[in-house]
């Protein structure tokens, strides 16, 4: 499956993004253990990938999947993973 994905998507990304796109790699893994997600992108936690000795780490939840929050003082949009407004100190 990974070979098919890489053979199909890698040239597409290379065509769209040039040299940067040709460096995009896809990793497919089984994310279930005993019927439950091992990594849930919506829950707090972290995970890391060891790629030839180089460690890449992500903190969860993934901010890109979270809804923005709004500051109650000035109605400014804030990052979904923030708990307090960094300008006013109010809870978001």
pLDDT digits (tens, 9 = 90+) for 29-60: 889 999 999 999 999 999 999 989 999 999 99
Alpha-carbon distance of 48 to 54, in angstroms, equals 10
Which region among 3-7, 23-27, 31-35, 55-59 has the lowest average model confidence (pLDDT)?
Answer: 3-7
Kindly give the residue spans of alpha helices, DSSP state H, lying in 1-92.
Answer: 2-17, 19-22
Same domain, 56 and 36: yes
Same domain, 45 and 23: no
Same domain, 37 and 26: no
> What's the pTM?
0.60
Q: What range does the domain containing 73 cover?
A: 66-92
Same domain, 8 and 24: yes
Same domain, 36 and 24: no
Contact 52, 66 (CB under 8 A): no
> What is the count of structural domains for the chain?
3
């Amino acid at each position: 499956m990974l070979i098919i994905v890489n053979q199909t998507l890698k040239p597409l990304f290379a065509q769209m993004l040039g040299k940067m796109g040709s460096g995009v790699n896809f990793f497919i893994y089984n994310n279930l253990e005993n019927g439950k997600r091992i990594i849930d992108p919506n829950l707090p936690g972290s995970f890391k990938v060891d790629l030839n000795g180089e460690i890449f780490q992500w903190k969860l939840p993934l901010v890109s999947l979270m809804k923005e929050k709004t500051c109650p003082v000035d109605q400014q949009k804030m990052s979904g993973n923030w708990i307090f407004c960094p300008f006013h100190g109010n809870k978001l």
